[in-house]
Chains A and B, each alone.
Chain A
């Protein structure tokens, strides 16, 4: 079955620290992978996407993610957290031939001063 696992429902970091949000997918065929961010009472905004062009994907707001086929992972990182990064982050996958996304359960990022 298609699934996405986000390890850690909450991640807390200090401002300026490294951000690492984990995402693993289940598939023998690399899917299309996405990271979305959601601020309170807003819709989802696309941070970045992997579509097989490059394994290291750079997105908006200084975020990037690396696709590792051997680990079936697509972890999201940012070298230095900012207070404005506090939000909910969703990893999602889309499998070839399907128009639907499969979302992970989300990770809430908390940033302390």
Chain B
């Protein structure tokens, strides 16, 4: 089945230790998104790629970076995680901006 895969599902890191979250997709969608979702809140868009074009949200901290080496993969790098970065991170894809398909998420814990 075509799908969006996120690895790992659970990630524990230490305060200030860089961490990378992974997203891959078999849908061949050209748009990929990264969201941060904190408890009982709506997902908050961090950035998205339209093809190779990177689009950063104005309020996304510099601590968050992303890479998209090819159509299928996208990575979220958190350079120096703080306690406030503990959250669920969701990856989503869409075809030219139409409906978005979400992965199962990665739950990040910062100790």
Contact = CB atoms under 8 A, between A and B. Distances in A.
Interface in A68-110: 90, 94, 98-101, 103-106, 108
Interface stretch (B12-20, B66-74, B75-83, B99-107): B99-107
B90 A46 contact: no
B6 to A, nearest CB: 8
B8 interface: no
Contact of A45 (B31, B40, B102): B102
A98 B97 CA distance: 7
Q: Give chain B's interface secondary structure class.
A: strand
A34 B99 contact: yes
Interface residues of A, number: 21
B42 A104 contact: yes
Nearest to B44: A103
Interface of B: 4, 6, 31, 33, 40-43, 45, 48, 50, 55, 88, 90, 92, 94, 96-105, 107
Interface of A: 32, 34, 36, 41-46, 49, 90, 94, 98-101, 103-106, 108
